[in-house]
Amino acid sequence: MNDLNIRKTGRAGRITFTRPKALNALTHDMALAISAALDDWRDDPEVALVVIDAEGDRAFCAGGDIAAVYRGGREGNHQIGRDFFRDEYRMNAAIADYPKPIVALMQGFVMGGGVGVGGHAHYRIVGDTTRIAMPESGIGLIPDVGGTWILSRAPGRVGEYLTLTGGRIGPGDAIFAGFADTYLPESEWPALIARLEETGDVSEIHRHPPPPATLEGRDLSAFGGRTVADITAALEQAGDTESLEPIRRNSPLSMAAGLALVRAARGDHRMQESLSREYRYTFRATEQTDFIEGVRAQIIDKDRNPQWSADASAANVSAVLAPLGDDELMWEDQA
């Protein structure tokens, strides 16, 4: 396909995003193609490891291409979004559980669906241009693609902070928060890929000291509040206008649901549990949440003025996160 370059080079299976003009946004077909490639290479003796990278300087993958999901939802076809999210999440889980090492090199913007690909690799490499974020509450969604699993394991209240604000973080903070583990100047990436292709040996990956993590010394205790309202009140008392600005701009339902999902994920034993819980929201997203309005305002019309209307009460948060019965996202090892 034109959006991905999937091939074998030396000892490596190679997956390269090839739509830089679209910031390498992930389509449904791309998610399926990544899953198929991983299946093909799982038992291939010629493939010792998998390398995932992207063309262009601006983005590894700036998120999911949700235009089709939006159009389907507007027309009353909610199955388009449900199918996309289901197959994307299964691909995310396949990366996390893959029996061979997966190396992801993530430059530029790495957001949403990009985190779902690169953030679950076994070796997650970032450089100076890397900017990672889970900004879904700005479009009426929640941190998904296993994002709640990563955020739930961030130190202190970093997970809540990034969930509610959608803040972008650089390489040092990405490693501190658990979205990456290796800093390597991007000028060294081509040589590393060549060595990995030649040897199939991840010991070729050498870490450099990462840039400072600005979040490490920041007081985020306000984000320990029980509800978004409690957190907002604590931030107002602390005079933290930097955090308050995005919180006042984002979807109230998305933030409340995201907060609940991240905290629930702290009790999960594997990422699939978090993905299944995320799917309960995204399954309902085009029909029962602020998602259609958020995408309209931020991506389609670009007026940046969403009119949020979804009920953000505790009762409705519970409703949009309730089990899906026969539609629940299940895994092969579940009965």
Residue 177 φ then ψ, to 5°: -80, -10
Tell me the C-alpha to C-alpha distance, in Å, between residue 204 and each of 85, 151, 175, 193. Answer: 35, 29, 19, 9
What lies within 8 Å, CB to CB, of 136 at 6+ separation is 112, 142, 143, 144, 147, 166, 254, 258
Q: Which pair of tokens denotes residue 57? A: 């300087």
Q: Which pair of tokens denotes residue 253? A: 């339902």
- Of 240, 260, 255, nearest to 308 by C-alpha is 255
Tell me the C-alpha to C-alpha distance, in Å, between residue 333 and each of 3, 103, 272, 330. Answer: 32, 26, 11, 8
Q: What is the rounded distance in angstroms from the CA atom of residue 260 to the CA atom of residue 262?
A: 6
Beta strand 49-54 pairing with 102-106: parallel
Residue 195 in 3-state DSSP? helix
Angle at 118 between CA 112 and CA 120, to 5 degrees: 95
What are the catalytic residues?
Answer: 64, 113, 136, 144
Run of H or E including 94: helix 79-96
